[in-house]
Amino acid sequence: MAFAFTQDQDNFRHMVQRFCVEKAPTTETRKLMDTEAGYDRQVWQLICGELGLAGIHLPEEAGGSGFGAVELGIVMEEFGRSMICAPYMGSIVMAGTALSTCATPSQQQRWLAPLLNGEKIAALAICEASGEFYSTHLHCTARISSEGWQISGEKRFVVNGKQADTLIIAAATDNGPRLFVTESNATGIDIQQVETMDPTRKMADLKLSSVDAELLGQDVPIDLDALQNLTLVALANEMAGGAQALLEAAVEYTKLRVQFGRTIGSFQAIKHKLADLLLIVESAKSAAYQAAVAFDNKEDVSENASLAKAATSEAYLQAAIDCVQLHGGIGFTWENDTHLWFKRAKSSEVFMGTPAFHRERMLQAMGD
C-alpha cells in the first residue's frame, strides 16, 4: 500500500501552509483564544472564499470541490501544525459533512450553502450527557406531532456550539436515531460555552426542551458510526500536524540552548529523545495518511480511522510532554508557545473517544 502525495497535493499543502504562516502566527492565536467567538471573521472569509477550503472534501453536487479525505487531511494537518483559530472542525468537518451526507438537495441549498461561503457557522451535536461519543442509545429524543418534530435532551462537547447559527442534532426517534437541523436561536435551546483546557477549540453544552426542528433527509436510519469516521480521519491528520510542530520546536530550541559550554542538542540524552520522537511522529503521520486513503477507497474505514485516532492521540501527547521537557523551565511558562499545542493534544486525546476506546474499536472492526 504505497503512499506518496502528488505534485498537486504538495502544491496545495504549500498554499495552506503559507496562509497559516501569514495569517495565523501564535500572536493571533493568543489574541483570538481569549475572545468568546474564538476566531477572526475576515480570516474565516478568506478560508471559505479565496482559498476555497470550506467544501474541499464535499461532492460538487453539494457545493464542494469534489476532493476527498486525503485533501481534507492536508488542510487539517497544516491547520493542526499552525494552531490556527477557525471553526473548521465544527462547521465544515462535522456539520458540513453531516449535511452533505444526510440532507436533501433543497435542505443542502438552505443549510449547507451558507456554511461553505462562510456566511454562517454550524455545529454538530452528537455526544450526550454521559460523555460518550459513540452511544448506540441516545437519550436526546425527537417526537413528531402535527406541528412537526420537537427535540428534548442534552448534548455535550459541541464544537463551535456557541458560535453556530445552525445546529445539527442527533436524537432518538421511535424508529432509531436521526439527524435534525434547527436555527440556534430557536425557542427552547440553551447554549452554554464550556471552559475547555484548550481555549482555541470552543465547545458548548446544549439543553433542548421541545425545540422545533426539521428532519434531515428522509426518515431512514442514519449510520452515526460512519459519520464519525471522517471526523476521526480529520482529527488524526490535525494531530499529526500538531505533533510535527512540537518536534520542530524542540529541535530548534535544543540546537540553540547552551549549557555546560555546549548546545544541549549535542548531548545524546537529548538527541536520542528527539530520534525517538521523530519515529513516533512519522509513524503517526503514516497512520493518519493511511486512514485518509482508506476512507476515500472505502476500505476498512472504521478500522483504519480508529487506528489513526489512537496512534495520533498518543503521538501528539508524547510530543507535547517531550517538547515541554526539552525546553526545561521555559517550557512550563505561559509565555512559551508549547502549552498551546500541549492543551490541544490533551483535549484531542479524549475528544471523539480515548485511545483505549479506539484500540478496542479497531480490533472489533477487524472482527476480533
How far, in Å, CA of 203 to CA of 205, rounded? 7
274 interacts with another protein by CB under 8 A: yes
Assess contact for 90 and 200: CB atoms under 8 A. no
CB 101 within 8 A of CB 93: no
Considering the rule CB under 8 A, would residue 310 count as an interface residue with another protein?
yes
Q: Which stretch binds another protein (CB under 8 A): 43-51, 100-108, 135-143, 357-365?
A: 357-365
Side chain identity, residue 111: W
17, 65, 107, 286: which one binds another protein (CB under 8 A)? 286
Which residues in 225-254 contact another protein (CB under 8 A)?
251, 254
The C-alpha atoms of residue 193 and residue 206 are separated, in whole angstroms, by 9
Contacts of 239 (CB under 8 A, 6+ apart): 80, 284, 288, 312, 313, 315, 316, 345, 348
Instruction: Kindly state whether residue 272 participates in binding another protein, applying the rule CB under 8 A.
Output: yes
Altogether, the residues listed in the chain come to a count of 368
Site string for another protein, 100-139 (x = CB under 8 A): ----------------------------------------
Contacts of 112 (CB under 8 A, 6+ apart): 62, 63, 96, 99, 100, 103
C-alpha dist (Å) from residue 21 to 30, 84, 89, 256: 15, 9, 19, 22
Nearer to another protein, 14 or 143 (CB): 14
Site for another protein in 73-92 (CB under 8 A): none
Burial class from Cβ neighbours inside 10 Å (0-12, 13-18, 19+) for residue 207 reads: middle
Nearer to another protein, 197 or 258 (CB): 258
DSSP 8-state assignment for residue 140: S
10 Å CB burial of residue 272 (0-12, 13-18, 19+) is exposed
Copy the grid coordinates of residue 169.
Answer: 442534532
171 binding another protein? (CB under 8 A): no
- Given the rule CB under 8 A, which of 25-33, 79-87, 207-215, 285-293 is the region that contacts another protein? 285-293
Task: Say whether residue 265 binds another protein (CB under 8 A).
Answer: yes
Residue 14 is a binding residue for another protein (CB under 8 A): no
Among residues 266, 299, 330, 333, the one that binds another protein under rule CB under 8 A: 266
Distances, alpha carbon 242 to alpha carbons 18, 137, 214, 301, in Å: 16, 33, 37, 23
Does the footprint of another protein cover residue 31 (CB under 8 A)? no
Binding residue for another protein, selected from 88, 180, 289, 342, defined by CB under 8 A: 289
In one-letter notation, the amino acid at residue 200 is T
- Residue 311 interacts with another protein (CB under 8 A)? yes
Is residue 356 close enough to count as binding another protein by CB under 8 A? yes
Stretch that binds another protein, among 42-50, 97-105, 207-215, 305-313 (CB under 8 A): 305-313
Residue with Cβ nearer another protein (229 or 254): 254
Query: Taking the complex as a whole, how short is the minimal distance between the CB of residue 300 and another protein, in angstroms?
Result: 11
> What's the closest the beta carbon of residue 82 comes to another protein, in angstroms?
20
- Residues lying near another protein in the complex (CB under 8 A) are found at 1-4, 251, 254-255, 262-263, 265-268, 270-272, 274-276, 278-279, 282-287, 289-290, 307, 310-311, 356, 359-360, 362-363, 368
